[in-house]
Amino acid sequence: MKELIVAIGLLFVIEGLLYSMFPEQMKGMMEKMKSIPASNLRTGGLFFALIGFIIVWIIKG
């Protein structure tokens, strides 16, 4: 459970850094995401979640 909390904290750090360093580009990216179909966003999200899971599994295994 401790590792999950650390992972979530790192996610917040990375996302916060992106928004603080590139605010206009992040706003533009969010606008572009509106035109992407939900099914494509879902597929991409699941793909990256799977990649992340595999990386953690290999490192922790």
Specify the pLDDT at position 60: 86
Specify the pLDDT at position 49: 94
Specify the pLDDT at position 1: 84
Verdict on whether the full-model pTM lies above 0.75: no
Q: What pLDDT digit, counting tens, does each position of 27-61 carry?
A: 999 999 999 999 999 999 999 999 999 998 998 88
CB 12 within 8 A of CB 20: no
Rounded to an integer, the average pLDDT of 13-38 is 96
Domains of the chain: which residue ranges?
2-60
Rounded to an integer, the average pLDDT of 11-39 is 96
CA distances (Å), origin 29, targets 23, 36, 52, 56: 10, 11, 22, 27
